[in-house]
Amino acid sequence: MTGPMTDDALIALAEHRFTQADRDGATPDDGRQLRDIFPAVLQRLREKVEITRNLVMIAEIDLNDAAAAARLLDRAGSAPADDQPQLSLLDL
């Protein structure tokens, strides 16, 4: 039995199977192999979404409220007040 695939390996395999299924002369088996990997790709995406959901908090702001809009604009030009590292999706 093999261990779980890395994100990069899963992406490479999905891209390869997509290319195979999309080419001229692709067989029904090529399409089946692409469909077979899709649940694993979706599961990995769900895992990444859960990770980022815990890292990102989006505040609801009523833009019709002038004071709330002003606070939003003030924060947009300033550095974060906490010592938390700033992550992007590319860091995951």
Tens-place pLDDT, residues 41-58: 999 999 998 888 777 666
In a domain, 83, yes or no: no
In a domain, 68, yes or no: yes
In a domain, 56, yes or no: yes
Dig out the tokens for 7 from the structure: 């994100």
Q: What domain range is 60 assigned to?
A: 7-78
Helix (H, G, I), strand (E, B) or coil at 92: coil
> Based on the structure, what is the number of domains in the chain?
1
In a domain, 51, yes or no: yes
Q: Which is more confidently placed, 91 or 58?
A: 58
Question: Which ranges in 1-92 belong to alpha helices (H)?
Answer: 7-22, 28-55, 66-76
Calculate the CA dihedral of residues 51, 56, 59, 60 and round it to 10 degrees. Answer: -50
How far, in Å, CA of 61 to CA of 80, rounded? 18
In a domain, 41, yes or no: yes
In a domain, 60, yes or no: yes
In a domain, 24, yes or no: yes
